[in-house]
A and B are shown apart, each in its own frame.
Chain A
Amino acid sequence: MAKQLIDTYVAELPPTVQKAVHQSTAATTEKRYQLLGDDYADSDGLRKLAGAIRQHTLEYLDTYLAQAEESLTARGAKVHYAVTAEDACQAVTGILQAAGITKVVKSKSMVTEEIHLNDYLANQGIESIESDLGEYIVQIDGDHPSHIVRPIIHKTRGDIARSFEREGLGDYNDDPETITRRARKFMRGKYLEAGAGITGANFVTADTGRLVLVTNEGNSRFCLAPAKVHIALVGIEKVVPSDADLSLLLNLLGRSATGQQLTVYTEFINGPRRADRPSGPEQMHVIFVDNRRTEVLASDCKEILRCIRCGACLNVCPVYRQASGHAYRSVYPGPVGAVLSPLLAGDKFKELADLPKASSLCGACNEVCPVDIPIPDLLLRLRNRAHQEHVPSPGTPPMAGFALLGSHPLIWRSAMTFGAAKDYLPLDRLPVPYLGAWLKTRTLPKWRGGKFRSWMKSRHGRNGGGGK
């Protein structure tokens, strides 16, 4: 049976990884549900309000982005713009070279994953170390994150212990506490010798020019404590109108992402050091990155830009739980990735056009989304786009036969009558494409075709007519 590429990944996923992903996503989903229920009578109303704030911001993005730039500039930060991934990487390199910096530390940022910043910097001879524990392990393994919030959800402690041994961080030891202590010690040296700290941003407020960063480990704070230069890479859609909007968004972000009321460290940065505040970096650069976001804004899937990267849709998704993140073959996995990744792929849309089909459209992703993104609707729009662009769709049975049946009542009625024959036919040996493979793991129920029509008729009879 011809398969979609995503199916191939699922088939090759080790059962241990699948089990780990399933358990951990289910546990986080449960924590999220509990906390929202304890704290809010109407958490659904809050999600919808947060969605409206994000949608409003997107629909006035030119206004709010310009305002954020003005606020940041007024507080001494330098604002840059990058149209493409390449432009963004060049901007970072330019800032570092001008300051004579060859070593940087990074905190976790999805947009830097998106533009492959670490590879770019390595090619320029600049050492860039990921400081988030999970991201660091991904980096030394030459791997890719498989979850937005939990990048190494697919790795076991044994995998990590072997990687640390290989990197010279001590003998094999798979105790999670020892692993964490070794990373702490190693990273201390890196923080102190780095000339710059590179971060993303969870939000940027337009009225006060605050970059908001949330972490549990404290790594973004450490990137910005000893370094001389702070460079933040920020997707243009991260803007929110004001501090007041943060009260809603921050309260929903932590609860949705990890089941925490607030993430341990919530940092608000609006400028470099000042004469009266002589701590922190001397320079602050904010690079607003487009990288096809304006194309998404112009599409019929613009709602996906509301996303605040909490990962709740991954955790709840029955497909993600079975497939894990690498099956999505892109930076953003899960339901959000099934929408965002093909859109950000530009002319490589066709290569990822199978992702919007990796969903049963059950709607759970929409129900948990803290900004109420109608993900199932967006998946359908992308399926339609793939169809319009004639993307081949292996593994999808031909539906023309059903279309014929469904649109001709006479053919439908006779099919219902004679369909009973299927109970006696060796269906798995019929020359219908995909039928044999489909039946390998499924048993069809006994034929009950036509029962509804006769039930309807007898019902009308009992009620004294009304039908024809």
Chain B
Amino acid sequence: MTARETIFAAIKSALAPLPEREPRPAVAHGVADAQWLADETDNVALFVQRATAVGTMCFRSSSDCLAWLFEQQPARVFIPDELRDVTAKFEGIVEVVRSYSRDQVDEIDTAFTPAAGAIAESGTIILTDESTPDRLAALAPWTHIAVVRKDTIHRSVADALAAMPDDPNIIWVTGPSKTADVEGILIQGVHGPGVQGCLLI
């Protein structure tokens, strides 16, 4: 017998004696929505509030974002071509590079990538391989700013799950990378970004 046959035979013989089996319970859409979600009417405002609460910096305009970025004095900023229009003002003020490769991991300390969407309820940014073709660009730099279109913000976690795109890799980012492994003390920027930002357009 193959390993597969052995395992399936063992499962079947384990389940055979059950007099009846647990039926599939109905999981109503939104059954695990936070109870306060019903009182919220503005998805964008809610997203900003929730994202800020988990430590994601939110920018309402590219000028606000640029003003903040300029103060950080970034070494090199990766901005892919498709975001050229959004960040037109950045040219000449910070050093912009248009391509990202793994041998530049230590040089590029800030990266902008387009997000596939967001979730208001949890303040989550959604990235996919389609929106962010280079996974490293959204992960390796100290500062990552996801560019989120306001009309792509889902209201709840359940809504986002009901509208999962066809992509081999979807990642929800809810705040900067963090750990509390050392004596329970919260430290940001373990492997991923220490600063997670979001530019709303």
Judged by a CB distance under 8 angstroms, whether A171 is at the interface is no
A83 is contacted by which of B3, B122, B135 (Cβ under 8 Å)? B3
Given A83-B6, A184-B191, A188-B105, also A248-B11 (CB < 8 A): no
Q: A290 touching B161 by the CB < 8 A rule?
A: no
Q: Mark B169-197, 1 if CB is under 8 A from A, else 0.
A: 11111111111111111010111110000
A240-273 CB contacts (< 8 Å) to partner B:
241, 243-248, 250-252, 258, 260-273
Instruction: Decide if B191 touches A82 in the complex (CB within 8 Å).
Output: no
- CB-contact partner of A62 in B11, B176, B180, B193, under 8 A: B11
A288 touching B7 by the CB < 8 A rule? yes
Shortest CB-to-CB span from B188 to chain A, Å, is: 9
The segment from B12-20, B60-68, B85-93 that touches chain A is B12-20
A20 within 8 Å of B by Cβ? yes
- Provide the bound-state CA to CA distance between A246 and B172, in Å: 13
**Is A150 close to B, CB under 8 A?**
yes
Question: What's the dominant secondary structure at chain B's contact region?
Answer: loop
Q: Judge whether A160 is part of the interface by a CB distance below 8 angstroms.
A: yes
* Residue pair A151, B181 in contact (C-beta under 8 Å): yes
B173 pairs with A264, CB closer than 8 A: yes
**B181–A277 CB distance below 8 A:** no
Given A133-B182, A217-B179, A247-B31 contact (CB < 8 Å): yes
CA distance A160 to B167 in the complex (A): 39
Q: Which of A172-180, A328-336, A432-440, A459-467 faces chain B? A: A172-180
Which listed segment binds B: A50-58, A358-366, A380-388, A399-407?
A: A50-58
Contact A264 B139 (CB under 8 A): no
Chain A neighbourhood of B4, CB < 8 A: 81
Q: Which residues of A contact B21 (CB under 8 A)?
A: 56, 59-60
What's the minimum C-beta distance from A243 to chain B, rounded to whole angstroms?
5
Q: Is the CB of B34 within 8 A of A40?
A: yes
Q: Which of B101-137 contact A (CB under 8 A)?
A: 102, 105-106, 121-122, 124, 129-130, 133-136
A-side interface residues, number (CB < 8 Å): 100
The one of A59, A134, A192, A250 in contact with B157, judged by C-beta atoms closer than 8 angstroms, is: A250
- Whether B161 contacts A247 by the Cβ 8 Å rule is yes
Q: Say yes or no: is A371 at the interface (Cβ < 8 Å to chain B).
A: no
Determine how close the nearest CB of chain B comes to the CB of A144; give it in whole angstroms: 15
Give the nearest-CB partner of B190 in chain A: A217
Is A422 an interface residue when CB atoms closer than 8 A count as contact? Answer: no
Name the residue of chain B whose CB is nearest to the CB of A79: B4
List of B residues within 8 angstroms of A261 by Cβ: 34, 54, 121-122, 174
Q: How far is the CA of A278 from the CA of B129 in the complex (A)?
A: 8
Q: Which residues of A contact B75 (CB under 8 A)?
A: none
A176 lies within 8 A of B168 (CB): no
Q: Which residues of A contact B10 (CB under 8 A)?
A: 290, 294-295, 297-298
Since A264-B173, A298-B13 are in contact, a sample of 13 more A-B pairs with Cβ atoms closer than 8 Å, ordered by chain A residue number, is A41-B35, A49-B25, A49-B31, A56-B24, A152-B182, A180-B182, A180-B187, A216-B179, A216-B190, A221-B135, A264-B175, A265-B177, A279-B129
Q: 11 A-B contacts, Cβ less than 8 Å apart?
A: A46-B31, A49-B27, A59-B22, A156-B183, A192-B105, A221-B139, A247-B158, A251-B157, A262-B122, A297-B15, A298-B13
10 tightest Cβ-Cβ pairs between the two chains A and B: A218-B192, A294-B10, A298-B14, A134-B181, A217-B190, A247-B158, A225-B135, A81-B3, A297-B14, A251-B32
* B interface list, Cβ under 8 A from A: 2-4, 6-8, 10-15, 18, 21-25, 27, 29-32, 34-36, 54, 102, 105-106, 121-122, 124, 129-130, 133-136, 139-140, 157-158, 161-162, 164, 167-185, 187, 189-193
